[in-house]
Chains A and B, each alone.
Chain A
Amino acid sequence: MIHTDRLTKRFGTVTAVDGVSLDIPEGEVFGFLGPNGAGKTTTMRMLASLVSMTSGTGEVAGCELGKPADELKLRQRIGVLPENVGLYESLSAYENVAYFGRLHRMDEPTLRQNIERLLRMMDLWEKKDLPTATFSKGMKQKVALARTLVHDPILLFLDEPTANLDPEAAKTVRDVVLDLKRQGRTVFLNTHHLEEAQRICDRVGILRTKLLTVGSVESLRTGASGKHTAVRVDRPSEQLAATVRARLAPRTVELSGDRLVVGVTDPEQENPEIAAAVMAAGGRILEVSQLSQSLEDIYLKLVHEGGAPA
């Protein structure tokens, strides 16, 4: 659905996006993470043909980026929800959504049907004729989401869709994204919310001008520092750690608080051996668990170090 090769955008002497190569298959929810100013919105705008690329190539929803003849076709196939919802506040929810349906050349019966379905889904049908100026932030975001979906796009670009929303409104938006995922739509999601990315994205990419890494949350978590088994013991000591280290060589064994942390490759196969080694060294095991880094740890590590995970 999205394929880019060394996509780059420069504004004068400033490089906003540097050589981003992506492959996002149909039906995937892809999370794009990065700090403010990392180039997430610029990348999204390039993919939506809203801004041109300085160099590189790309194909989005079957349309070639940078080819003028494909621009309108691409915008017909995609839906874009910018960070600022940008509703016409004097117009009603219905009118806001209808305007965008008409701009997408929808016939009136289908348009009416889609608006009703979407506004009902967002729990806004009863308020469809009220000016959106009277709506809460969460309600406005839902109208904007309905506007983005009204023409049944095959690919959605959502820029920080839950930013500054209360938990309930954020949940509604996330539920809509999950529903889109079930329908097999492709979603490109710019987000700051790591937990959100972890919960709804099939894969994530971390950007800081350059694409630092791409992968499933699970593969990033294990790939960032390898797998570890933590054994909590009754009386931890350096001597116990040294004995266990000798028995489990060449694995790494570190003492961390009341836990012995052992580097493993296949925890299910190796954990019984590790437990046996600890007990043989005189340790009394209280708990055995798997250690994995959170997405937040990986994100912070990558963004601050700027390198790919080990």
Chain B
Amino acid sequence: MRLSQAWIVARHDMSIFRRRRGVLYGLIALPFAVGIGFPALVGVIVHRGTGGLESYLPDLVNAFSFWWVIGAGILPTTIAAYGIVGEKVEKSLEPLLSTPTTDGEILLGKTLAAFLPTMAAVWAGSVLYQVLVDLETRGALGYLLYPSWGMAVILFVLAPLACLYAVEFSVLVSSRVTDARSAQQYAGIIFLPLIFIYIAGEIGTIPLDTVNLLYFSGALAALVLALFYVSLRLFRREEILTQWK
């Protein structure tokens, strides 16, 4: 597999997304809204809080941090759906498949085109989030909540895995639907397990500590590998030209 060939596909896809205002704004708006909105909520809790903040605030903020995993799963579905279903709609897959590019290079290019902007937006938004949360909580707690090992696992292990999971799932869905909106709607199913974990963290059923986050990472990595295998099997030119709807 030639990375340079995949990079040509990725650059091309990203140049198309840049022109789709809705996709671009969605990619930027959500991480920044959360990056500002959650710290604002934390600020309200801190300012209204009476006593015992130090006992529940770190867990609450930890649970909030998990949103960046969910965000990394939500954001790429739009791009991935446009990247593959968009090609189906514009009927541009056949010319693309006629070039000296392997199926794996095309799939990798499309994955990178969804992965890189998503992770850039997630990381940028999370920096804002961490700084603002620290500003709001330092006075009450007497120490900085971020950076932390838990957040490092979330941002550098879980969020990229969630992003890949969403992209691979979108490839799977894209092979069976004919428009980007349907692809996005079906791909919405993937958030469910992540949202369950988030709620479990918020209500304290599963503490979202570093060890548990690493366990989730392992499970998600296995899921990503399985989905990658399936999407590689689906993303074959003969399959695309003769089986895809």
List the interface of chain A (C-beta within 8 A of B).
11, 45, 48, 50-52, 72-73, 75-76, 78-82, 84-91, 95, 99-100, 102-105, 144, 147-148
Contacts and interface: CB of A to CB of B under 8 A. Distances in A.
Given A45-B241, A50-B241, A51-B241, A90 B16 contact: yes
Nearest to A72: B100
B51 interface: no
Contacts of B92: 86-88
A76 B102 CA distance: 12
B93 A86 contact: yes
Nearest to B9: A103
A91 B15 contact: yes
A50 B101 CA distance: 11
Most chain A CB within 10 A, of B5, B9, B99, B238, is at: B99
B181 interface: no
Which are the 4 A-B pairs with shortest beta-carbon distances?
Answer: A86-B92, A80-B98, A84-B91, A103-B99
A82 B16 contact: no
A34 to B, nearest CB: 18
Given A11-B242, A52-B238, A90-B19, A72 B8 contact: no
Nearest to A131: B19
Contacts of A52: 238
B95 interface: yes
A82 B95 contact: yes
B100 A86 contact: no
Interface of B: 5, 8-9, 12, 15-16, 19-20, 90-102, 237-238, 241-242
A85 B99 CA distance: 14
A99 B95 CA distance: 11
29 contacts: A45-B241, A48-B98, A50-B97, A51-B242, A52-B238, A72-B102, A75-B98, A75-B101, A76-B100, A80-B94, A80-B98, A82-B91, A82-B95, A84-B91, A84-B94, A86-B91, A86-B92, A86-B93, A86-B94, A87-B90, A87-B92, A89-B90, A91-B15, A100-B99, A102-B8, A103-B101, A105-B100, A147-B95, A148-B95
A91 B5 CA distance: 20
Nearest to B105: A103
Contacts of A100: 95, 99
Contacts of B95: 80-82, 85-86, 100, 144, 147-148
A148 B94 CA distance: 12
B94 A75 contact: no
B238 A50 contact: yes
Given A51-B238, A82-B95, A89-B90, 10 more contacts: A11-B242, A48-B98, A78-B98, A79-B98, A80-B98, A84-B91, A86-B96, A91-B15, A99-B8, A144-B95
Contacts of A88: 12, 16, 90, 92
Given A90-B19, A103-B99, A50 B8 contact: no
Given A82-B94, A99-B12, A90 B238 contact: no
A135 to B, nearest CB: 13
A140 to B, nearest CB: 11
Contacts of A51: 237-238, 241-242
A127 B16 CA distance: 19
B8 A103 contact: yes
A130 B16 CA distance: 14
A103 B100 contact: yes
Nearest to B5: A103
Nearest to B102: A72
B110 to A, nearest CB: 14
Contacts of B242: 11, 51
Nearest to B19: A90
A102 B97 CA distance: 14
Nearest to B86: A88
A205 B213 CA distance: 64
A103 B99 CA distance: 6
A197 B94 CA distance: 24
Nearest to A84: B91
Nearest to B239: A51
Contact of B90 (A80, A86, A95): A86
Contacts of A144: 95
Contact of A82 (B9, B98, B99, B237): B98
B107 to A, nearest CB: 15
A108 to B, nearest CB: 12
A89 B20 CA distance: 12
B95 to A, nearest CB: 5
B228 to A, nearest CB: 21
A73 B94 CA distance: 17
A11 B241 CA distance: 12
